[in-house]
Structure 1
Amino acid sequence: MNHALPQPARFCPRCATEIPAPPEGEPPRCPRGDFTWWPDPKVATGVVVEREGRILLVRRNHEPAMGEWCFPSGYVDAGEVVEDAAAREVREETGLGVRLDGLLGVYSEPGDPVIFVAYAGAAEAGEPVPGPEATEARFFEPEALPRLPFPHDDAIIEAWRAHRARTDSG
């Protein structure tokens, strides 16, 4: 899933001067030197939450991929620690606490401003209850996962399998 890059500023937010189109490969700059527009990436995070060998998924209640199953995930807030954001997203979308067990990987695509940080985690006690961003939340057998909608989901599952093999054997 490719998110659109943000459109560059057309006017300087400091002096309101129109910003001309920049040369290829250069960021837009205010001709008065007051401002340079840097299209910074947005960080998102998610957790492959496991309990008794099964994986927790949520059915999304918003776009992108509304109605599809995915890992509990979402954006990291400004100033928030990524691991805290991962645990917060699990709690918000499923009502469950999670103990993070390790980093599975960091994923990005050319032209997509989103950097996705994936973790493995173990669900704490309780039954999943969908939050406002999900219509369902439940555990699946790893061999019976529904189709997952995002570009790195298959790689994340493979990283989780490798992580689980390492932690189960050692």
Structure 2
Amino acid sequence: MSEPVPPPCFQNCVPPGDERERLVCGDCGWIHYVNPKVIVGAVVTSGGKFLLCRRAIEPRAGFWTMPAGFMEEGESAEHGAAREVWEEATARVRLDALLAVYSIPVISQVQLIYRGELTLPGFAPGLESLETRLFGWDEIPWNELAFPSVTWALQHFHAVRDQTAFAPFTAPVLFESRPGR
């Protein structure tokens, strides 16, 4: 996907009081800031099994993921994570803790992943999922997970599965900085 072409009145320059080049309107001085996207999601369990969704959409269609997606304007991170569980797995969830904050500069994302438990037994694929399923730890299709952060979140959940208090995890060191930044 290519970047949209800015209107002709915009130019790349360093605005006053800033240190980075930005798109600035030459007519009115409005600055177009490009910021990271916030992803919200949850590692959801029921009876000791993990709810995963097989993606129906790109990127990584056909691969398994935890329910997660872009946070919407005007919602809290917790509400967004619960909404994503509903949208992708038509399931209701109770979130109990922030499991991880993954800062991934190479794709300009900050991911907030919660730990959650199904509140009702039913679930089914939502519009963005081909299939939803509960997996035991030894049944998780590790080689078919859509993104590294799904693997991290499942492993981090497993590390604190019996704990009620813990510090949120972060991404592995190899994802902490973007070359040239």
TM-score normalised according to structure 1 size: 0.83
Instruction: Report what 2:6 is aligned to.
Output: 10
Structure 1: gaps of 5 or more residues: none
- Aligned identity (percent) is 35
Aligned length: 159
- 1:115-126 correspondence runs (5 A): 115-126=110-121
AA aligned opposite 2:49:
R
Provide the secondary structure at the position in 2 that maps to 1:96.
coil
Contact 1:9 1:28 in 2 (8 A): no
Contact 2:50 2:137 in 1 (8 A): yes
Partners of 2:59 and 2:34 lie apart in 1 by: 21
Pairing partner for 2:156 from 143, 155, 159: 159
Partners of 1:122 and 1:10 lie apart in 2 by: 44
Q: Which has the higher strand share?
A: 2
Note the C-alpha offset of 1:73.
1.2
AA aligned opposite 1:163:
V
Instruction: Report what 1:92 is aligned to.
Output: 87
Provide the secondary structure at the position in 1 that maps to 2:13.
coil
Partners of 1:163 and 1:77 lie apart in 2 by: 29
CA distances 1:79-115 after superposition (whole Å, capped 9, x unpaired) = 1111111111111222221000111111122232222
CA RMSD of aligned residues (A): 2.3
CA distances 1:19-64 after superposition (whole Å, capped 9, x unpaired) = 3333694222233452112102221111110111100001111011
CA distances 1:104-139 after superposition (whole Å, capped 9, x unpaired) = 111122232222110110111222211111111110
Note the C-alpha offset of 1:8.
7.1
Contact 1:8 1:37 in 2 (8 A): no
Structure 2: gaps of 5 or more residues: 166-181
Provide the secondary structure at the position in 2 that maps to 1:21.
strand
| 1:20 matches 2:16 | no
| 1:58 matches 2:53 | yes
Partners of 1:8 and 1:38 lie apart in 2 by: 14
Contact 1:9 1:37 in 2 (8 A): no
